[in-house]
Amino acid sequence: MKQSLLLLFSIVLLVFACTRKIQQQPEDQPTSYDTVTTRIEPEVRKPRNVILMIGDGMGLGQITAGMYASGNKLQIERFPIVGLHKSHAFDQLITDSAAGATAFACGKKTYNGAIGVTPDTLACTTLLELAEEKGYATGLVATSTIVHATPASFIAHQKQRKMYEAIAADFLRTDIDFFIGGGKKYFDRRESDDRNLYLELQQKGYLVSDYFRQELYEAPADPQRNYAYFTSDADPLPVNQGRDYLPLATQMAMDHLEERPGKGFFLMVEGSQIDWGGHANNESYIISEMQEFDRVLGMVLDFAEKEGNTLVVTTADHETGGFSIVPPARMDSLATAFTTDYHTATMIPVFAYGPGAEAFSGIYENTAIFYKIRAAMHW
C-alpha cells in the first residue's frame, strides 16, 4: 500500500512539472509545424544582414527550364545549402501567395488570402517588423505592385489580399527604409478615402519618386532619408515587354540599407512574375522571368560574398502551373507542359548561403523559414 502511494505521488509530481513547463513556454516558440531544425547552434556566427529572395511560383520545373535555356548554368547553383519546404496553407493543401508569404513572414500557417494575420484574423508580427524593433534597416522590392500578396505580407495586416488600399495605408504605420514596386494608384488616387499616401510619405521625410517623374536610374537614394519609388501605376510590365528595374532596384536596396545607421538590414526581394507566367501557361514568360530573377541572385550572392556577413535565403511560396519538361525536349529546344493554370502542392526548394545557412537543409514546413531566420539573427 505504502509503495502504491509513493508511486502515485511521484506520478502527480511529474505531471505537475510537465504542466508548468508547457505553461511557461514563450508565446513566440514554434508550433508543432516548426519543431524540427528551427534552431542554430551557438557556435554559428551571427549574420549582420539577411536577404530573403522569393521567386513567386518558382518550383523545380521553372528553375530547370531557366537553367537549360541559359546554357545549363544558373547563378542559383552557387548556393551550397539546399532544402525543401512544405507549402500547404492552414486549411488548404494548395496555398496561395498570401498564406505562403505570411508563413515566411510570421511563422504562422493561415488561410488563403490572409495578409499578415493568423487564421482568426489577428495580426502577427512579421520579420520586417521584428527587424525594425531590433534596430535593423528594412526594405522590400517586387516586380508586382508593392501591395501585392507577397510584399504585403511582410508589412501589412489585412483580412484579404485584395484590400490594396488598406495595405498601402499600412505602409505608413511602419518606418520601412526602402521600397520599390508598382501600384502608385493605391497611394495617390484612392477610391476608399481622400488620403494621398504619396504626399504623406513625403511629409514623413521619405524621398519619393515614380516612373512618371523620372526613371529609376535618375532617382538616386539618399542614405540619410527613407526611400520609395513606384515603378508603375498598377501592375508592372513583364520583363519581355520592357520591364528592367529589378537588378538596379535590388542593388540600390542593398547599397542604401548597408549605409543606413543600425545593426544591419532585412531585405525581401520578390521575382513576382514567374508566377504570372505559370498562370498564363506561357513557357517563354516563365523562362524570361526566371532568368532575370537568377541574374539578381548572382548580384545578391556577389554582395554576400564580398561582405561576408549576410545570410541569403532563396525560395518560393508555391509552384504555379504544374510546369514540367516533357519529350521530345532537348537542352537547346525545350518541350514543356502544364497540368493547371493555378498553383500546385509540390514541395518547394530552399537555397541558403552565408552565416547560419546550414540550418536550411532538410525538409520542413514553410513556417520554419521564419524561425530559422529569426534564430540566425538572434531575434
Q: What contacts 332, CB < 8 A, 6 or more positions away?
A: none
Q: What does the alpha-carbon distance between residue 182 and residue 237 come to, in Å, rounded to a whole number?
A: 10
- Per residue in 200-227, is it b (16+ CB within 10 Å) or e — as a string? bbeeeebbbbbbeeeebeebebeeeebb
DSSP secondary-structure letter at 290?
H
Asked whether residue 7 carries a pLDDT value surpassing 90, the answer given is no
> Can you read off the three cell numbers belonging to residue 290?
526566371
Element at 281 (helix H, strand E): none
Q: What is the mean pLDDT of the chain?
A: 91
Which pLDDT score, from 0 to 100, does residue 43 have?
A: 56
Give the helix ranges, DSSP H, for the chain. 2-23, 60-68, 97-106, 127-133, 149-152, 164-171, 185-188, 197-203, 246-259, 273-279, 283-307, 368-377
Active-site hit among 10, 87, 97, 361: 97
Which pLDDT score, from 0 to 100, does residue 352 have?
A: 98
Which pLDDT score, from 0 to 100, does residue 45 have?
A: 86
Q: What percent of the chain has pLDDT over 70?
A: 88
> Can you read off the three cell numbers belonging to residue 293?
530573377
Please tell me the CATH superfamily of domain 49-164+236-377, with its number.
Answer: Alkaline Phosphatase, subunit A (3.40.720.10)
Higher pLDDT among residues 24 and 327, named by residue: 327
Q: What are the extents of the domains in the chain?
A: 49-164+236-377
Which pLDDT score, from 0 to 100, does residue 40 have?
A: 43
Asked whether residue 330 carries a pLDDT value surpassing 80, the answer given is yes
- How crowded is residue 172: how many other Cβ atoms within 10 Å of its Cβ? 16
27 confidence band (pLDDT: 50, 70, 90) = very low
CA dihedral 304, 305, 310, 316 (to 10 degrees): 60
| Residue range 192-246, pLDDT digits in tens | 999 999 999 999 999 999 999 999 999 999 999 999 999 999 999 999 999 999 9
Asked whether residue 265 carries a pLDDT value surpassing 90, the answer given is yes
| Residue range 147-181, pLDDT digits in tens | 999 999 999 999 999 999 999 999 999 999 999 99
To the query of whether residue 333 is one of the catalytic residues in this protein, the response is no
Beta carbons of 318 and 339 less than 8 angstroms apart: no
Average pLDDT score over residue span 61-90: 98
Q: 71 φ, ψ to 5°?
A: 75, 30
> Can you read off the three cell numbers belonging to residue 127?
520579420
